[in-house]
Amino acid sequence: MQSPWKILTVAPLFLLLSLQSSASPAYNDLSRPSYSNGHTCVGCVLVVSVIEQLAQVHNSTVQASMERLCSYLPEKLFLKTTCYLVIDKFGSDIIKLLSADMNADVVCHTLEFCKQNTGQPLCHLYPLPKETWKFTLEKARRIVKKSPILRYSRSGSDICSLPILAKICQKIKSAIEQSVPFKDVDSDKYSVFPTLRGYHWRGRDCNDSDESVYPGRRPDNWDVHQDSNCNGIWGIDPKDGIPYEKKFCKGSQPKGIILLGDSAGAHFHISPEWITASQMSLNSFINLPTALTDELDWPQLSGVTGFLDSTVGIEEKSIYLRLWKRNHCNHRDYQNISRNGASSRNLKKFIESLSRNKMLDYPAIVIYAMIGNDVCNGKSDPVPAMTTPEKLYSNVMQTLKHLNSHLPDGSHVILYGLPDGTFLWDNLHNRYHPLGQLNKDVTYAHLYSFLNCLQVSPCHGWMSSNKTLRTLTSERAEQLSNTLKKIAASEKFTNFDLFYMDFAFHEIIQEWQKRGGQPWQLIEPVDGFHPNERKSVLLKGMLMTSQTLDNQEWTQLTSWVKGNLICDSRTREWLCCCLQIVSGRRCSSSGPKSWERRIRSTPRLNRCLETKAGTEPFRSMHPWGAQGGRGMGKLIPQLCGLLRHRPKGVSFSSVFAKCLSLNEEHIWMTVQCCVLLGSVTLPLFLK
């Protein structure tokens, strides 16, 4: 995914091009041939389209629609002022061209924000004019022939070149590139400022003048005198003289949540209201300054580290909020170390921004979720630029070694697999994009083609009409996921356990459809690529379902099952019964109800016997993970129904451990899937 946020930074106003340069070099591919700065071209086409459609919606002149657009923009970041400056410089020519029925593509090529270089294809969003492109462009140029605008040098438009702004621009650029807070007085990587990598991205600092005070650390002397870990708990209970931190948090095993991700993990989002003329109002751009200073990301709403309630009516909470609900001592202990354009290749450039001290801090759950950019790029031939399995293995091992040297003992790391992105074309290509809904003239297929032509597509491989290319991209994604499985299965580290989880794409869709939704509603409508808030929260909700065991229940189940590893003829007979039922035949075997009694005596485990012998669908996410067992997930519903038929003295795990010679970790994945009806990973972390 190329830095998609750059498009919108040039869209509201052409000469805020300085914001493009604030993107990290990790995002930019300098080896790619430039098509007259593709992001600038996209930004121009978006803005001119909005101006034209505002005039249409309000039955006004182009001049009035431009002024209307500027009036909607907030004063912050000088957005409104800059917009009026843009009108003053470009408005007269835009009026002439739109009044001559030239569309946004023609306008932007005429003003040279888009330019077709020699040997390059013609890139356009809208259908080509009825007359030839060459004739239309020459006609448009004659209209603005004497305009001083064409002599305007965009090379001097970078406001960061001004001496008065150079220093602050450099500091902002550094904050974005290094993924550390712009405002951090004590340099502990935590801030009291929300954006520019502040507390929208990691827990809010409660004392920005003391580097020893920050979220996630173990309390200093049980926080008798100050709140050293910013969880809001400190002081002494006057009734018994016991520190509140000790009373409430001792033995609760607090754990932080850390995400290493890309733009999906950062929750990249462009509001449809920003480009939909029929929905635009004074309230549309209220959040634009915040979005721009958060790189068009919304980590405060992400499915992993989000701390605000959903804005789209989803009941599920982020993983951080779920951890906080289970244990308030986890308050503010979250870090979203994600960046637009991040991948296994460039993570090393900003992983140093992760804040965790092996000796002073609590353990953490780290989710590695580079789900796109190792197969996604905007090149005209994207396949050679994809990460190979061998290179991914090397990159991930380097990351894991870094984590092992920084994470406290008792931490946990989840490697997240890559999705199958063919979903995008299959569900969106013939739907109208927000820019095309008014006149029914721009579909997502048109948008994808436009971005691919300019070589600024977030993922040419999946956002393509070429089915072969989409298939190749998915195949590479599967290869990389298998590599992550291999790492999780074979590598061991001293300070954390390692797990793998598939990207539960189809399960998310099924859950959303059960709620009456359509698959396309899970994708960001403006860029047609990123998972939106619904999908992000649903995905993490499935990762950490509320159907998990509490600490005492899990401990009881662990000691009980591990103490019953036996195998005899009765076990093999029961296994045969399993196979009969799996193959569709009935099994009359029955036995004492010791397992059933044990489950019914443990709250919530009783639900396992309420699945109608496995006839109800499971909300499972291929729990086999790193231990393999592809396809075995289909057997779980039937196996769970067999609990009441197992022979006396035979544990569920013993069948797999002794008779099928599977390792103990594999057994536990099986037991969890059957018993927990959903999440199969985080219960391990929370014990």
Residues 244 and 295 in one domain: no
Enclosing domain of residue 74: 34-156
Strand partners, 260: 337, 368
Out of 503, 521, 545, pick the residue that ends a domain. Answer: 545
Task: Give me the phi and psi of 573, to 5 degrees please.
Answer: -65, -40
Taking 70 as the pLDDT cut, the residues of the chain under it are 1-36, 146-165, 535-687
Residues 246 and 312 in one domain: no
Q: Under a CB-based contact definition with an 8 Å cutoff, are residues 502 and 620 in contact?
A: no
Residues 283 and 411 in one domain: yes
Strand partners, 432: 443
Does any domain span residue 556? no
The pLDDT of residue 149: 60
- Cβ count near 81 (within 10 Å): 13
Residues 243 and 290 in one domain: no
Does any domain span residue 179? no
Residues 233 and 305 in one domain: no
The pLDDT of residue 42: 95
Residues 404 and 445 in one domain: yes
Residues 269 and 224 in one domain: no
Does any domain span residue 209? no
The pLDDT of residue 117: 84
Does any domain span residue 609? no
Q: Under a CB-based contact definition with an 8 Å cutoff, are residues 512 and 522 in contact?
A: yes
Residues 235 and 259 in one domain: no
Residues 367 and 510 in one domain: yes
The pLDDT of residue 169: 74
The pLDDT of residue 511: 83
Number of domains in the chain: 3
CATH code: domain of residue 437? 3.40.50.1110
Q: Under a CB-based contact definition with an 8 Å cutoff, are residues 326 and 309 in contact?
A: no
Decide if 191 is catalytic.
no
Q: Under a CB-based contact definition with an 8 Å cutoff, are residues 588 and 641 in contact?
A: no
Residue of 24, 49, 65, 263 marked active site? 263
The pLDDT of residue 166: 72
Of 650, 645, 628, 641, the closest CA to residue 677 belongs to 641
The pLDDT of residue 65: 97
Does any domain span residue 630? no
Does any domain span residue 656? no
Does any domain span residue 377? yes
The pLDDT of residue 541: 53
Q: Under a CB-based contact definition with an 8 Å cutoff, are residues 176 and 22 in contact?
A: yes
User: What is the residue-wise DSSP string for 106-174?
Assistant: HHHHHTTSS---TTPPPP-SSPPPSS-HHHHHHHHHHHTTT-GGGG--GGG--GGGSHHHHHHHHHHHH
Does any domain span residue 633? no
Q: Under a CB-based contact definition with an 8 Å cutoff, are residues 606 and 599 in contact?
A: yes
Residues 281 and 242 in one domain: no
Residues 442 and 492 in one domain: yes
Out of 106, 141, 156, pick the residue that ends a domain. Answer: 156
Residues 150 and 223 in one domain: no
**How far is C-alpha 67 from the chain's CA centre?**
36
The pLDDT of residue 271: 95
Out of 198, 226, 251, pick the residue that ends a domain. Answer: 251
